[in-house]
Structure 1
């Protein structure tokens, strides 16, 4: 028996019939809302919302980045050379996204399915705006694509990239050939020579292309406003999911995502269009790490984010609906709820309270825990407290593995940090206890000496710790506590008399200045089973 799968894209039996319509869903569906980036941890329901909207509305399209042929961009010798000499490709990537989204909206809005329809749309735009001198450059841009609005996205990207390649080759083609010949040519170039090449291509990769596309967006927005006066108002949704997968080489993936986020706000001018991008929290963390040199600031774009957060009543509603559907489908038409299947407490704790405390307040977690309990019950119609404890061991092991997979991109040493915090097999420790012995020193040395981990944000703290004589572990341990808090592995009590803070409930980031030597660190109960920590019902 099962109340659904872990992945929303494979949960056809339960996802839509048992969908919980909570406030973030309304923000995503409301075209007037600024929210465009659906942000949350893995398993928090991002894909579920996109699938729900796709099934609910008449005019929507979902872009799969794996079908965008961005590998053509990655494999471009010209773009690889420009990246190697330090040229800023952000504008180029923004041009790619703006073009793709404009074409996708034209195709969706005007139902373009062939070349004839594509030319018809251009004629319609030309007839309306040809006498507007301010739109001339954007009209010329669209003219180059008048018969191509219907072509596939990978063809669009290939043609745009080839255009940039040809322009750059005309300027510094000889240097590209030397780069293609190998021998790490770019490393033999002086800083002055690199600056010269960057300056020469800047006139090719410049803001003019973005200005042309901005004009295209204005044309589409104005056309949409005029037609709304005649026709019924219709909303259009373009959704982008699966950005966390291997859709493009890691060397440019996070810069492409950053350019996409920057691009979204310009489409707010098309009031009938809603673009929704699903983005995992750990991927956003990596975007910030990788693009901080080009001034990406999360705070400036926060109004465009829809943050997914669940609470106990919402999760209970979700589980009740799924349990009811499971048993109605298999056994009876009478309504069956969670309490009917889980009638026994775990110690003195209600089973749902016990189980939800061992989650990060995400649908995937509680669904997985219920499924483990049903499996451990071995066909029994009722799940006992002992069965829940038995299922918890396997559930905890799976959650730890999932935590490592989720955050290994942003924090490559996450497994070592979890081993370090769990080795004392205590639910609560202080920084003073963690500093005892040589474990912290050994961990710092391991992180610092591993060359593969140099992009780890903990690497510099480990180096500083190793360079001190004698080493003092507290600053290094504060960094560790901050990361473990960020990923949800621990809660933190900053002062006596205050409650434990958790990143999935409270602020996602913890200022390290607030952490003291006496700060209490509580391993999240989700991990107690995997760490073989004795479950103490009296633990604070």
Structure 2
């Protein structure tokens, strides 16, 4: 085998085919499509978008699936559509519920055929869209853009306390409440009409996927947390209402685990228990993805493209690579692409084995380490912009593992203007994102290094005294063992 015949191991994005194929072989697809799961959690690069791609590309009879990409979504505009009359966690539930319902209604209205177009339900929907949006081609970011929704006898006229609403003002001052009540009445009428038409047209199921909710987010502040909470509550509400009908309407949210961990509201534990699908990987499942990719390119598997020697400590090559990742397909693919480049360079200039060698893998570590730091920056900076101050302190210490007291001495010297994190907060945040592992009891009388990415149930312990930097960052920070 000559690895120079491989052009690339593919894009690092989680949308690639081998990741998608892996999910099809698991219960993930059925749990989303048929089960109770509507909140898909996973770390960045874990494969959430691959699931969205599956539903949008694999055509099934009676299924309509649409992905709502929130890249460029007008969050600032949506922030003005809150209701001060309700609890903070519910301030955006009505606006998201309305958005989901009108997206669903638009999908149905576009697919009407034959006599369905002439029913009162169809006429009501079409007139509503015509009056407020100029037709049936409304982008996701435009549903909440009007300052006021017009309501007429020809479209919908919900009644509030026996009085017909001639319109609903969306943009209200903070002291003006009541938006949720009015908007929910309108959403109920639209949903009822759309569900009737959906059944009439023989559409058995509609899936609406909310993906890339973190795109363009500089800070995950309280208003954004409230908006995501509202989306989650609205999704649960609409899914429950639709489940009472023969038509299956389901919204599915794909969210980074760290964002979910930052959100707090009363029903969070209940949703976690019943409605969350957590995407997790181990070495065996990652090897399946790699073998699928290698087989599609060469007709062989991973074992055919490296020599038989083990790494230092008799560790297998793939295990050595995986130990430097966060158990994500994106990390493994990134490492393999760097490895491929290093091996080709070595073969073309010096000759030798035409498969991956130990030296190729070692020579790839520095470039991969820089990649991993950049990935972490995308995840951590919305929560803590000055997080790299802590990296500088660790780099100055120069050791892969260190005692708390050493960090507490170095960290204040690295703190830049605007950084309000104490050394304790810094250590906790680095642990939460698996930059650091903690040395703690293993449960069998011994101790081991614990990382959050591989053992998510192991919460932060403020009494911990020994920490170890993730192996993937060793070269970037120039650390010694």
TM-score bucket (shorter structure)? 0.7 to 0.9
Cα distance change on mapping 1:92 and 1:485 into 2, 3 Å: closer
Number of the residue aligned with 1:4: 10
Select which of 157, 161, 165 maps to 2:144.
Answer: 157
| Alignment partners' CA distance in 1, 2:282 and 2:21 | 20
336-345 vs 205-214, which moves further:
205-214
| Alignment partners' CA distance in 2, 1:320 and 1:39 | 25
| Alignment partners' CA distance in 2, 1:298 and 1:98 | 18
| Alignment partners' CA distance in 1, 2:239 and 2:47 | 24
Cα distance change on mapping 1:161 and 1:524 into 2, 3 Å: farther
| Alignment partners' CA distance in 1, 2:115 and 2:200 | 19
Structure 1 residue 509: Cα displacement = 6.2
Cα distance change on mapping 1:248 and 1:298 into 2, 3 Å: same
Q: How many residues align?
A: 435
Structure 1 residue 34: Cα displacement = 2.4
Instruction: Give 3-state SS (helix, strand or coil) of 1:530's partner.
Output: coil
More helix by share: 1
Number of the residue aligned with 1:339: 303
Cα distance change on mapping 1:160 and 1:92 into 2, 3 Å: farther
Number of the residue aligned with 2:105: 106
Structure 1 residue 70: Cα displacement = 5.1
Cα distance change on mapping 1:390 and 1:248 into 2, 3 Å: closer
Deviations, residues 264-311 of structure 1 (Å, cap 9, x unaligned) = 11122223122122212233355x2xxx6xx46642431332211011
Cα distance change on mapping 1:156 and 1:307 into 2, 3 Å: same
Number of the residue aligned with 1:255: 226
358-367 vs 424-433, which moves further:
424-433
Instruction: Give 3-state SS (helix, strand or coil) of 2:144's partner.
Output: helix
Verify: 1:406 aligned to 2:375, yes or no. Answer: no
Verify: 1:512 aligned to 2:424, yes or no. Answer: no
Verify: 1:283 aligned to 2:259, yes or no. Answer: yes
Normalising to structure 2: TM-score of the pair?
A: 0.77
Are the counterparts in 2 of residues 355 and 369 from structure 1 also a CA contact under 8 Å?
yes
| Alignment partners' CA distance in 1, 2:399 and 2:142 | 57
Structure 1 residue 484: Cα displacement = 1.2
| Alignment partners' CA distance in 2, 1:391 and 1:118 | 64
| Alignment partners' CA distance in 1, 2:335 and 2:138 | 42
Instruction: Give 3-state SS (helix, strand or coil) of 1:244's partner.
Output: coil
Are the counterparts in 1 of residues 41 and 255 from structure 2 also a CA contact under 8 Å?
yes
Deviations, residues 490-539 of structure 1 (Å, cap 9, x unaligned) = 111223713322111212662434x23xx32121111122122346xxxx
Paired residues for 1:32-51 under 5 Å: 33-51=35-53
Instruction: Give 3-state SS (helix, strand or coil) of 1:158's partner.
Output: coil
Paired residues for 1:390-469 under 5 Å: 390-435=363-408, 438-443=409-414, 446=415, 450-451=417-418, 453=419, 458=421, 462=422
| Alignment partners' CA distance in 2, 1:125 and 1:49 | 32
Paired residues for 1:159-178 under 5 Å: 159=146, 167=169
Paired residues for 1:53-452 under 5 Å: 53-58=55-60, 59-66=64-71, 72-73=77-78, 79=80, 93-109=92-108, 111-112=110-111, 120=117, 123-124=120-121, 144-145=128-129, 150-153=136-139, 154-159=141-146, 167=169, 198-199=174-175, 201-203=176-178, 205-214=179-188, 216-217=190-191, 234-246=204-216, 252-269=223-240, 270-271=242-243, 272-285=248-261, 288=263, 295=265, 298-302=268-272, 303-327=274-298, 335-343=299-307, 344-347=309-312, 348-378=314-344, 380=347, 381-435=354-408, 438-443=409-414, 446=415, 450-451=417-418
Instruction: Give 3-state SS (helix, strand or coil) of 1:278's partner.
Output: strand
Instruction: Give 3-state SS (helix, strand or coil) of 2:102's partner.
Output: helix
Runs of at least 5 residues in structure 1 that lack an aligned partner in the other structure: 127-138, 172-196, 328-334, 463-475, 536-540
Instruction: Give 3-state SS (helix, strand or coil) of 1:202's partner.
Output: coil
Verify: 1:28 aligned to 2:15, yes or no. Answer: no
More strand by share: 2
Runs of at least 5 residues in structure 2 that lack an aligned partner in the other structure: 1-6, 151-165, 348-353
Instruction: Give 3-state SS (helix, strand or coil) of 2:145's partner.
Output: helix
Deviations, residues 56-79 of structure 1 (Å, cap 9, x unaligned) = 2441111122465556546xxxx3
Are the counterparts in 1 of residues 401 and 468 from structure 2 also a CA contact under 8 Å?
yes
Instruction: Give 3-state SS (helix, strand or coil) of 2:333's partner.
Output: helix
| Alignment partners' CA distance in 1, 2:384 and 2:115 | 46
Deviations, residues 344-364 of structure 1 (Å, cap 9, x unaligned) = 322221101111111110000
| Alignment partners' CA distance in 2, 1:71 and 1:249 | 13
Instruction: Give 3-state SS (helix, strand or coil) of 2:393's partner.
Output: helix
Cα distance change on mapping 1:484 and 1:69 into 2, 3 Å: closer
Verify: 1:527 aligned to 2:476, yes or no. Answer: no
Are the counterparts in 1 of residues 399 and 479 from structure 2 also a CA contact under 8 Å?
yes
| Alignment partners' CA distance in 1, 2:118 and 2:277 | 33
